[in-house]
Amino acid sequence: MSQLVDPFGREITYVRVSVTDRCDFRCVYCMAEDMTFLPKREILSLEELDRLCSTLVRLGVDKLRLTGGEPLVRRNIMWLIERLSRHLDSGDLRELTLTTNASQLEKHAHRLRELGVERVNVSFDSLDREKFKAITRWGNYDKVMRGLEAAKDAGLHVKLNTVALKGVNDDEFETLMHWAHEQGWDITFIEVMPLGDVGESRLEQFYPLSMLRGELAKKYTLSDIPYKTGGPARYVQVAETGGRVGFITPMTHNFCESCNRVRVDCVGTMHMCLGQEDSADLRTPLRQSDDDGPLIDAIHEAIARKPKGHDFVIDRRHQRPAVSRHMSVTGG
């Protein structure tokens, strides 16, 4: 049982930890093309990340997801994953996983599997080369495809995460679903979230997933299933393909009532809710003392402030994000 219980009685067992704000892509819904990255001294070292994650595991967190930016571009990141894998060996950690754009999986997939990582979430928004390039700005389509193949060869289970973008990839959703299911993978569609100024209009990007589900239901037999991976997706089984489709709907139907998650960004700030500005500084107690007591106190104090739900809304009058920080800083 987790020692971390929020004011609404929800046990916090799942933490997403950003290891870097840097990425080799510049996806239009996540980052501005001319991003200014954080100075190295502000970023938690790998040793600090190990200590922080290990403390969270001691407090009852049994699922860790490493995110970014792109986590696999962090120098020596495999050292951290190797260190954290000891908690899998001990049984204290049920799952260690990553969210990635797959650009580095060709290099790392087999070692990840050896270290006990069983599955990865891959952000992938289009099978069309030109569209993929337009969405990611800097992405290398062939490299991503080789990375996905390497993940399959290594025995990693892949879940594709596709952000629904109106007028961009909304003509591909069915094709993406078929392709994922042919590979034996799940696919989750995600509504665009108003995080950070990315130089694009959120209103123009937003595609409600209630529309997608309605369109799919006209052609396929969709059955609601209780399948859970620890995150906020609600899943359906598609009878015709035999695969699963998830929907993450922060805008049209929030999922806060069962939230068991918090995020820690790459500078050691805990975000108790992705859609709220309130946060807690964990870097100071990490750096001020070798004793974990102050860090544990800071974590407990933060969880005691976890809100009931988020405040996401697309501001139609002012065209500004609901939360000013970029997704790449907070972690996906």
Residue that the structure tokens 């100075």 belong to: 39
Residue stretches of the annotated binding site for [4Fe-4S] cluster: 23, 27, 30, 256, 259, 273
Cite the annotated binding site for GTP by residue number: 16, 65, 99, 159, 261-263
Residues making up the binding site: 16, 23, 27, 29-30, 65, 69, 99, 123, 159, 193, 256, 259, 261-263, 273
Going by C-beta distance under 8 Å and a sequence separation of 6 or more, which residues neighbour residue 8? 306, 308
CA–CA distance, 25 with 104 (Å, rounded to integer): 12
Six token digits for residue 267 = 């500078």
Q: What letter would DSSP give residue 42?
A: G
Q: What residues are designated binding site for S-adenosyl-L-methionine? A: 29, 69, 123, 193
Which residues in the chain belong to E strands, given as ranges?
A: 14-18, 63-67, 95-100, 119-123, 157-164, 186-191, 222-225, 234-238, 244-248, 261-264, 269-271, 279-281
Distance CA 275, CA 241 (A): 34
Q: How many CB atoms lie within 10 A of CB 148?
A: 22
